Amino acid sequence: MNQIENNLKVIHGRIGEAAHKAGRNAREIQLVAVTKKHSADTIRYAWDAGQRVFGESRVQEAIAKIPILPSAVEWQFIGHLQTNKIRKALPHFSLFHGVNNSEVARQMDRIASETGAFPRVLLEVNVAAEASKFGFTAEGVRTDLEELLALPRLQIAGLMTIAPYCEDAEKARPFFAALRHLRDDLEKRGGVPLPELSMGMSGDFEPAIAEGATIVRIGSAIFGERI
Ligand SMILES: *Cc1c(COP(=O)(O)O)cnc(C)c1O
């Protein structure tokens, strides 16, 4: 067994255990293998080991790799989409995790109406209000929700966050809980289901699962450190 196959097995085991502890079914949790800065050859090892969903954070880099990998790969965009890259990115990704302000959402909606797309998106929330991070503030997303839901082409499927880096992953848990509470609140206000919670990375996916993550985005624990 190669290293990537082995790592995937370990991660699936840990997801299963975290789900079990939380009284959840592991099948409710989608693993997105984050392949930014990794070659198509490396990605193929994961594909061969059965991984089907991959996350990329740069449009240019993703578009170079996508055509040389199996067409059945499901690609998700986990980065910050610059408005000048939206048109290029739209056809390639099944889900956009990083819609981090209303301007990006409006632009996506406008371009999607021209190209005929109905992009599925997650709203990125900076739950810890860190100055270094992108994303809506919790207040901002409450304020803008009505306008966002009215954008006819965007299918808003839920929320995404990147928790502050903590040596002890358990310390990230309140931020994941905060995202879930915010989601519950927005569902009530908006009267719409927002089923997806994209939260948890290599260092903190277990507490994220404990708090309801439906999508975990894991890179280095599968592919090793990025150079
Ligand atoms: C790089 C990245 C990840 C994966 O991070 P790891 O710590 O390598 O698992 C997850 N989410 C986003 C948004 C990323 O940019």
Query: Hunting for tokens 């994220």 — which residue is that?
Result: 208
Burial 199-226 (b: 16+ CB within 10 A, else e): bbbbbbbbbbbbbbbbbbbbbebbbeee
Residues 111-137: pLDDT tens digits? 999 999 999 999 999 999 999 899 999
Q: Which residue's C-alpha comes closest to atom 7 of ligand 1?
A: 202
Q: How far apart are CA 218 and CA 213, in angstroms?
A: 13
Tell me whether residue 126 is exposed, middle or buried, using C-beta atoms within 10 angstroms of its C-beta: 0 to 12, 13 to 18, 19 or more: buried
pTM (2 d.p.): 0.97
Q: Which residues are paired to 17 by β-bridges?
A: none
pLDDT, the chain, mean:
97
Residues 157-173: what's their mean pLDDT? Answer: 96
Residues 91-110: what's their mean pLDDT? Answer: 97
- Atom index in ligand 1 nearest the CA of residue 221 equals 9
pLDDT of res. 226: 86
C-alpha 22 to ligand 1 mean position (Å): 23
Residue 1 in this model has a pLDDT that exceeds 80 = no
Which residue type, as a one-letter code, is found at position 195?
A: P
Residues 14-61: pLDDT tens digits? 999 999 999 999 999 999 999 999 999 999 999 999 999 999 999 999
